[in-house]
Homo-oligomer: A and B are copies of this chain.
Amino acid sequence: MTEDTLPVGGNAKERIKAFIERVENLTAEKKTFADDIKEVYAEAKSSGFDVRALRECVKLRAKDAEKLKNEKAILDIYLNAIGMDFLL
């Protein structure tokens, strides 16, 4: 019925279903943690902390410190060039 675009065999349907279900299960697990992360930020916010800054910290901590220093050094040059020294 459907040759040529599928690794034929009578069980192609079953295999397709199996792949999809595996993805769905994993996606559900993943969502769990995504929701947990949101909760943490919500808790932080309701405690008076700045969520934007927290997110930024997380992002920065995920990067290599040396690379970070380099990038900051370069950016500072450019910021100075355009007169935005107040961000240095």
Interface residues on A, range: 35 or more
What CA separation (Å) do A20 and B83 show in the bound complex? 12
Which residues does chain B contribute within 8 Å of A12, judged by CB atoms? 81
B61 touches A82 (CB 8 A): yes
**B residues in contact with A64, CB < 8 Å:** none
Determine if A80 and B2 form an interchain contact, defined as CB atoms under 8 angstroms apart.
yes
Q: Is the CB of A71 within 8 A of B52?
A: yes
Give the distance in Å from the alpha carbon of A66 to the alpha carbon of B73 in the complex: 23
> A24-B58, A30-B30 known; A17 and B49 CB under 8 Å?
no
Distance, CA A6 to CA B60, complexed state (A): 20
Contact, CB under 8 Å: B47 / A15: yes
